[in-house]
C-alpha cells in the first residue's frame, strides 16, 4: 500500500504553492493550435510525490525477491538529491516531448554484539533515473486536443552497498556490492486535453511499452487538472502511476511507483 502523508506532500510542494496563489488572478488565453505554424515551447519543473511498491532480486537472491514498500515520506527522509522536469516543443500538428526523473537516496545502520565486542555496520546508496523522448502527432482539436505519441524511455537503477564487520578499533571484514542496470523501452501512447472554460482543463495520458525489447512490460498513466494563470504560466496537479517489469540473468525488477504530482509550466 502507498502511504503518502499530508505532511510529506506539504513539505515537498510548499515551494510552488505561494507562486501559484500570487498569480491566480491573471487572465488566461488559449495556447497554440495546429493552425499555428510557429514553434511553441513549454518547460515544466514538477514534484512527483511517488511511493514505491514491488520486488527486486539481485544475483537470484532471495529467490522470491526483496520486497520494497516505501511511502513518499519514507523516501523523503533518505533523499540526497532529486530533480524532475518535462519539456515540449510543438509546431502545427507535430510535437517533441521530453521527460526526466532523477533521484538518489542513501541509508546506513548497524548492530552490535554482546558488550559491544563485535559490530556490523552498513551503508547503501540507490540512484534511479528515467528519461523519455517521444514524438507526438495531433489527431484533432474539435472538442479537445488529442495526440498520439511514440518514443523511447531510458531506465537506470544503480546501487552501492558496503558492509563492515569489526571488533573495537580494528576492522576485521569489509565487503562492497555495486551494480548498475539500465535498459531502453520503446513505447506508444495517447494524450487527451479537454478544456473547461478559459482557465481550466483536464488532462489524461497513458502509454504502454517494453514489449520484451527492454522491459518485459512497462506502462504509465496520468490524470490531472491544469489551470492557466496567464498565457505563459500553467499550474498542473494530478496523479501518476509508472509500472516496470524488467529481468535479465541476475537481476529482476518488478516495481510500481505512484503518487500525486504538482508543477508549473512556462510557455513561450
pLDDT number for residue 261: 96
pLDDT number for residue 15: 43
Q: Is 46 a domain residue?
A: yes
Query: Is 61 a residue whose pLDDT tops 90?
Result: no
Q: Is 214 a domain residue?
A: yes
Indicate the pLDDT class of residue 86, thresholds 50, 70 and 90: very high
Q: Is 112 a domain residue?
A: no
The overall average pLDDT reported for the chain is: 80
Query: Is 129 a residue whose pLDDT tops 80?
Result: yes
Which CATH number goes with the domain that contains 138?
2.40.160
In sequence order, which residues have a C-beta less than 8 Å from that of residue 86 and are 6 or more positions away?
43, 44, 46, 97, 98, 99, 100, 263
Higher pLDDT, 105 or 108: 105
pLDDT number for residue 5: 42
pLDDT number for residue 57: 78
Q: Is 124 a domain residue?
A: no
The whole-model pTM stands at 0.77
Higher pLDDT, 120 or 89: 89
Q: Is 172 a domain residue?
A: no
Higher pLDDT, 54 or 227: 227
Indicate the pLDDT class of residue 63, thresholds 50, 70 and 90: low
Q: Is 210 a domain residue?
A: yes
Report the C-alpha gap between 76 and 78 in whole angstroms: 5
Percentage of residues in the chain having pLDDT higher than 70: 72
Q: Is 239 a domain residue?
A: yes
Higher pLDDT, 240 or 19: 240
Higher pLDDT, 34 or 228: 228
pLDDT number for residue 112: 47
Q: Is 116 a domain residue?
A: no
Residue in the structure block whose three cell numbers are 542496470: 181
Q: Contact 86/95 with Cβ under 8 angstroms?
A: no
CB atoms within 10 A of CB 225: 13
Q: How many domains does the chain have?
A: 1
Indicate the pLDDT class of residue 12, thresholds 50, 70 and 90: very low
Report the C-alpha gap between 74 and 84 in whole angstroms: 18
Establish whether the linkage from the previous residue to 62 is cis, with ω within 30° of 0.
Answer: yes
DSSP conformation class of 27 = P
Q: Contact 229/195 with Cβ under 8 angstroms?
A: no
Query: Is 218 a residue whose pLDDT tops 80?
Result: yes
Residue 39 lies in domain: 6-103+129-152+186-267
pLDDT number for residue 182: 92
Amino acid at each position: 500500500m502507498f502511504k503518502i502523508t499530508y505532511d510529506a506532500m506539504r513539505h515537498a510542494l510548499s515551494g510552488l504553492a505561494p507562486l501559484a496563489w500570487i498569480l491566480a488572478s491573471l487572465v488566461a488565453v488559449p495556447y497554440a493550435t495546429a493552425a499555428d505554424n510557429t514553434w511553441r515551447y513549454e518547460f515544466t519543473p514538477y514534484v512527483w510525490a511517488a511511493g514505491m511498491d514491488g520486488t527486486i532480486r539481485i544475483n537470484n537472491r532471495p529467490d522470491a525477491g526483496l520486497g520494497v514498500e516505501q511511502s513518499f515520506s519514507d523516501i523523503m527522509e533518505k533523499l540526497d538529491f532529486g530533480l524532475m522536469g518535462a519539456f515540449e516543443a510543438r509546431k502545427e500538428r507535430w510535437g517533441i516531448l521530453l521527460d526526466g526523473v532523477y533521484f538518489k537516496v542513501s541509508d546506513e545502520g548497524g548492530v552490535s554484539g554482546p558488550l559491544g565486542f563485535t559490530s556490523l555496520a552498513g551503508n547503501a546508496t540507490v540512484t534511479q533515473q528515467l528519461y523519455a523522448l517521444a514524438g507526438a502527432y495531433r489527431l484533432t482539436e474539435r472538442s479537445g486536443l488529442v495526440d498520439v505519441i511514440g518514443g523511447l524511455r531510458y531506465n537506470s537503477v544503480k546501487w552501492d552497498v558496503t558492509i563492515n564487520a569489526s571488533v573495537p578499533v580494528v576492522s576485521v571484514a569489509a565487503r562492497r556490492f555495486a551494480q548498475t542496470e539500465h535498459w531502453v523501452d520503446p513505447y506508444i501512447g495517447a494524450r487527451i486535453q479537454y478544456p473547461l472554460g478559459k482557465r481550466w482543463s483536464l488532462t489524461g495520458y497513458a502509454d504502454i511499452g517494453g514489449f520484451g525489447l527492454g522491459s518485459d512490460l512497462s506502462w504509465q498513466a496520468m490524470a490531472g487538472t491544469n489551470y492557466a494563470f496567464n498565457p505563459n504560466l500553467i499550474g498542473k496537479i494530478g496523479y501518476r502511476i509508472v509500472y516496470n517489469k524488467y529481468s535479465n540473468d541476475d537481476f529482476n525488477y518488478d516495481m510500481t511507483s505512484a503518487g500525486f504530482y504538482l508543477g508549473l509550466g512556462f510557455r513561450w
